Amino acid sequence: MRLVVARCTVDYRGRLDAHLPEAVRLIMVKADGCVAIHADGGAYKPLNWMNAPNTLVDHGDHWTVVNPKGETLTITLLEVLTETAHELGDDPGLQKDGVEAHLQALLAASPQAIEDGLTLVRREYPTAIGPIDLVCRDAAGQVVAIEVKRRGDIDGVEQLARYIERLHLDSSLGAVRGVFVAQVVKPQARVLAEARGFRVVEVDYDDLRGMRPDELRLF
């Protein structure tokens, strides 16, 4: 990893045009060739960047970075303050717990948390337009398609609508209804879901994690 602190200007021409006026910034060049230009604030996102793979040419007073799509990043160096390089080696990578997949797994183990009498038919039920998070049957035997989100946004409701439209093409299933499950459901998403005739359920991740499927069956 190469770290250059320099007074510079930067221009990006690609999916849009962007320009950075003269200022002192950190230029980070990683071992895989990706380049990021950071100011001294503003979260982790760099002001400007070019991902790998790309070709970096050092013209002395300016660098040009070009990617295979023809997008270019031009860094004009007006004054290099420091330049260092470091060997970091490979990284073992990040281990995560608590993402949507886990929420889905917990709900698959305890569909009663969504609705009394619900039993799982299949997780990641395949359709031509992608897998449905959970497919269940309710107490009356009707098929229920369930979309699981951490944050219930409008996009998720549309996703559920597409899946249900798809399932309706499969007449062997009979009538199918939809349930939209999330830890938090946004107001606009709730409006749309209800307009579409979907039930909306908010669930708590920690409660779910604390539940045992057998405990749930006591109700």
Residues in contact with DNA by CB under 7 A are 12, 14-16, 18, 42-45, 48-51, 67, 71, 73, 93-94, 96, 99-101, 126, 129-131, 133, 149-151, 153-156, 159, 162, 186-189
Of the pair 82, 214, the CB lying nearest a copy of itself is at: 82
Does 41 sit near a copy of itself (CB under 8 A)?
yes
Binding partner selected for residue 82 from DNA, a copy of itself, none, CB under the kind-specific 5 to 8 Å limit? a copy of itself
Does 3 sit near a copy of itself (CB under 8 A)?
yes
Q: C-alpha distances in angstroms, 173 versus 133, 145, 146? A: 17, 11, 15
Q: Which residue has the tokens 């039930």?
A: 199
C-alpha distance across the termini of the chain, in Å? 57
Which 73-92 residues touch a copy of itself, going by CB under 8 A? 81-82, 84, 86-92
Binding partner selected for residue 39 from DNA, a copy of itself, none, CB under the kind-specific 5 to 8 Å limit? a copy of itself
What are phi and psi for residue 34, nearest 5 degrees?
Answer: -70, 145
Q: C-alpha distances in angstroms, 57 versus 31, 39, 49, 66, 67? A: 15, 23, 15, 9, 12
